[in-house]
Structure 1
Amino acid sequence: MSQPQEVPIRDESIRLGQLLKLAGVVQDGAMARMVIENGEVTVDGETVMRRGIQVRPGAIVKYADADLLVTTEPQ
């Protein structure tokens, strides 16, 4: 298994849809909403169907072939 792609965030959490856009795995918010509502995204191994869910550093988000590790942006 390959290493997850680290996605640093500025705040203590980020909405799932925003994270997918920030990581570049979806083109826009509409696509983020569609893949989340279709049950294609997991957070820490659990399927998430709400794009507004808050994701915090340390979480592993999986979508398609992408494994994303949420990290804290260096100050």
Structure 2
Amino acid sequence: MSSDVAEFPLLSGDEFVELYKVLKVQGLVDGGGAAKHVISEGLVKVNNDVDTRKRKKCVVGDVIEFNGERIKIVASV
């Protein structure tokens, strides 16, 4: 696994982003359906724990891991 952590800034005014959208927007899967599938299969971790909730609300500070990639949710600038 890479030690690099990509950042995913929340949109201004947003308090959270749904887990499947992070995977989709970051280009780690081909689309929303694929994101929901890998999440339901238990292939995605949030803060080091497997999470199978497709619409889990990810907030600032959460770290998502999938397929050797790590993404940290950050506040928008």
TM-score strictly above 0.5:
yes
- Residue 3 of structure 1: CA displacement? 2.0
SS in 2 for 1:67: strand
CA distance in 2, matches of 1:12, 1:23: 18
Question: Which runs of 5 or more residues in structure 2 are unaligned?
Answer: none
Q: Would you identify which runs of 4 or more consecutive aligned residues in structure 1 move more than 6 Å?
A: none
Structure 1 or 2: more strand by fraction = 1
Superposition TM-score, scaled by structure 1 size: 0.92
Alignment partner of 1:29 is 2:32: yes
CA distance in 1, matches of 2:44, 2:60: 17
Q: What's the % identity of the aligned pairs?
A: 26
Alignment of 1:11-50 (within 5 A): 11-50=14-53
Superposition TM-score, scaled by structure 2 size: 0.89
